Amino acid sequence: MSEQHLNRDSQKKRAPRPSSPARPKEYSRKKQILMIASILAFLGFLAFGIYLISDLPDLTELENVRPVQATRIYSVDNKIIHELFTQSRIWVTYDQIPDHVIKATLATEDRDFHNHWGINTSRVIKPIVVNLLTMSYQEGFSTITMQVARNLYQKRIGFRKSITRKLKEIVTALQIERTYSKKEIMEMYLNVSWFGRGAYGIQSAAQKYYNKDVGDLTLEEGAYLVGILKGPSNYTPERHYDNAILRRNVVMHNMFICDYLERTEYDSLKHLPLESETWNPKSGTAPYFTEHVRQQLNKLQKTLNVNVYEDGLNVYTTLDTRYQDAIDSAIAVQMPGIQSRVRKSLAKWRERNEVADSVFEEKSLVQIAIVALDHTNGHVLGMVGGRDFEKYKFNRATQAKRQPGSTFKPFLYSAAIDNGYTPAYKVWNQPIVLYNPDGTRWSPENFDRSLGGRTTLREGLKKSLNLVAANLIDEIGPRTVVEYAKRMGISSDIRPYYSLAMGSSDVIPLEMVSAFGTLANGGIRVEPVSITRIEDRYGNIIHESKSRRTEALNRGTAFIITDMLETAINHGTGGSARWKYKFHAPAAGKTGTTNDYTDAWFMGFTPHVTAGVWVGLDDQALKLGRQGTGSDTALPFWAEFMKRLYENVEIPQDKFQQPQDVARMDICDDSGEIATNFCPNVIKREVFKVNNHPTESCHLHPGFGRRQFSDQSAF
């Protein structure tokens, strides 16, 4: 090739093109913009991905699903009496769920459940197109697995309709499908779903809608419950009966379409009425007792490292529903008459103060506290703390402090008997003036303003003579009485005043019942127990209660006081339990009435159960009226309860067992010595400790004969 040609070619190559100076810069700038845009897009996508999965459950959490479950409180006869929860859920296994409920769920919620891997791709395209065209979330395509993801992790995924939420559901659903079998996923779905009426899960729904376990649901009942998953508030039988029927029938029609139901069966079932239980969201059995238990559980939470409202605990209590039924029935029978009587007695107060009807109804409402206790182990068998728990949460059985009146006297007499006194010991039934430590003057009188001569302690307790009690506390001292009351179970602060002989210090009904239980239990004090054990959701015992027992009284002392209190209920102030209310099992008891009829009490026990009743008005400025005595106002509830209990529960009518260090003998009422055949006034079968009994025959009525000991073998 010639040099000229080469030069020409060289010139052509070197010849600049018109645009050559600007092209390289423009190309570089576009490339940079594209790279930056790509990086930003990548970073944005990465950030969105990180945001999307940042608050989703990790694999470990997915493998250890622990949904919130209700804590169940059981009675001693294994009945569920209450639940504590943030979500009322009781977990049931797949095998416990009827097959027709599973099929109804598949037919209605996700027919391809067994064929997809968490996302049903055949149902995705249309919703995506609609959502993109509208630039909003209009249609969903949730599978059962995606709903499980949303229900399990609702705080992270949320319920607000959005594409972000749906993507979170998808990611979590894929992980769930990789971790669990289809049966396990279905089990989770039916246990975590919301069914309305406070029910989370199919078991809770079965109980709240039909008062039965899930395994007992009929096909049409199961179809209704599956149907309301679409929106429980729209299908409540009370408000939307026609919608509820229609929705139930849609579910059964879906079952027919899927060959889960024959045409004839579907045609028959769709005409059935919807028979759902009327929902009453009030507290269940013994609400005051279960609230008492809840408060104890709250205190145990930190120690046990549990959440009693979410961890699905099983709490086993001491309450016996038979005892509780007897208490509730006694109140239902006796309260109307007493309530009417009290309102009549307050009529003048109402007129004088021009009280409005609504205020009067509220202030004149008679309140009540009843506790039944197994004194051998301290188990609380039944409890009522007021008239209406929904309105009055205050538990008067465990929280109210009121003056006990004469029901406090057995502590005084216990102190005396334990320190060498006998039931035959006599003190003056005469006026006395005493001065309390604060300088106040105390000059009591008997309820009926009667007076008398020297009176035995048995007679004084039998008739609840205030002057006998006042003279007795003057002899032994109020501090001794305080000591014995504390030993026997009174934990409230007690002032060592002489007026304590008539119950001048406030006490709580539960502790009074417990203290009387010490007498019934032969002097052994057993602290009240309401919870026997607590199990976690897997059945592991995480707490057990043990009764704390202490010897408060000599066994002989306890029996002698019990025998004296038998006299009080057989022939004394508690006698109407026998002649009026027809309760005849062996029993001991004591009435109590405070000044101006503010508080009425009755405490009593049999060899097998101790029970106490307090009746009063919340406003202590108001009075129960002149018939507001322990015998007229509190005893009727106790006697009615005991009578029903002994009629309906197989309780032996045993007598109180006399211990070996106690014996009975006849003594002369005039001399206090062993009665002879010539003594005109004989106290028969009086009880004494074997080391503290009369040893000489009556010197006032000597003779050749001497009455034999009624229980001579004890000496």
Q: With bands split at pLDDT 50, 70 and 90, how would you rate the model's confidence at 334?
A: very high
294, with CB counted inside 10 A (0-12, 13-18, 19+), is middle
Q: With bands split at pLDDT 50, 70 and 90, how would you rate the model's confidence at 173?
A: confident
- pLDDT value of residue 309: 94
Q: Judging by DSSP bridges, how do beta strands 379-384 and 367-374 pair with one another?
A: antiparallel
Please say whether the beta carbons of 624 and 597 come within 8 A: yes
Mean pLDDT of the chain: 88
Please say whether the beta carbons of 159 and 151 come within 8 A: no
Q: With bands split at pLDDT 50, 70 and 90, how would you rate the model's confidence at 161?
A: low
DSSP letter (8 states) at residue 120? -
Tell me the mean pLDDT in the region 466-476: 98
Please say whether the beta carbons of 634 and 627 come within 8 A: no
Distance CA 374, CA 381 (A): 7
- pLDDT value of residue 13: 47
- 274: Cβ contacts below 8 Å, ≥ 6 apart: 224, 237, 241, 244, 245, 248
Q: Which amino acid is at 635?
A: L
Q: How many CB atoms lie within 10 A of CB 347?
A: 11
Q: With bands split at pLDDT 50, 70 and 90, how would you rate the model's confidence at 120?
A: confident
Residues above pLDDT 70, as percent of the chain? 84
511: which strand partners?
Answer: none
Task: Check pLDDT > 60 for residue 464.
Answer: yes
Distance CA 256, CA 250 (A): 10
- pLDDT value of residue 4: 44
Q: pLDDT for 603-634, tens place per residue? A: 999 999 999 999 999 999 999 999 999 999 99
Residues above pLDDT 90, as percent of the chain? 73
Phi, then psi, of 441 in degrees rounded to 5 = -95, 135
Q: pLDDT for 136-157, tens place per residue? A: 544 556 889 888 887 776 654 4
- pLDDT value of residue 10: 44
Top pLDDT among 206 and 15 is at: 206
Q: With bands split at pLDDT 50, 70 and 90, how would you rate the model's confidence at 46?
A: very low
- pLDDT value of residue 420: 95
544: which strand partners?
Answer: 533
CA-nearest of 55, 57, 65, 189 to 118 is 189
In order of start, what are the domains of the chain with their CATH numbers? 87-269 (1.10.3810.10), 401-520+554-584 (3.40.710.10), 660-715 (no CATH)
Q: pLDDT for 395-425, tens place per residue? A: 999 999 999 999 999 999 999 999 999 999 9
Please say whether the beta carbons of 705 and 676 come within 8 A: yes
Tell me the mean pLDDT in the region 583-606: 96
Task: Check pLDDT > 80 for residue 219.
Answer: yes
**pTM of structure:** 0.83
Whose tokens are 């993801």? That residue is: 149
